Amino acid sequence: LHLKKGVLHKQLGIEPNEKIPLGLLNKIISAKVGETIKNPTSTGKKRIKVTRLIEERAILARNLKKIRR
């Protein structure tokens, strides 16, 4: 398994030193592939087109956030 560090941050337009908000991850995961969603937070891009790859990365990020608790 090869992970590219910081790619999801770059795709979402969030600085590498900032955390990705959980609300944004949940919105990406709940959206269908191909939809364009509005970012519910003030960080990063305002509109994000959901692709399968972004969805997979968001699922991984959310799961890793749960492990750290």
pLDDT tens digits along 54-63: 999 999 999 9
What number is the average pLDDT over the span 11-35? 95
Q: Taking residues 32-42, report their average pLDDT.
A: 95
Instruction: Say whether 47 sits in a helix, a strand or coil.
Output: strand
pTM check: above 0.85: yes
Banded model confidence at residue 2, pLDDT cuts 50, 70, 90: confident
Could you tell me what percentage of the chain is helix, strand and coil, using 3-state DSSP and rounding each to the nearest 5? 45, 10, 45
Contacts of 5 (CB under 8 A, 6+ apart): none
Q: State mean pLDDT over 31-52.
A: 95
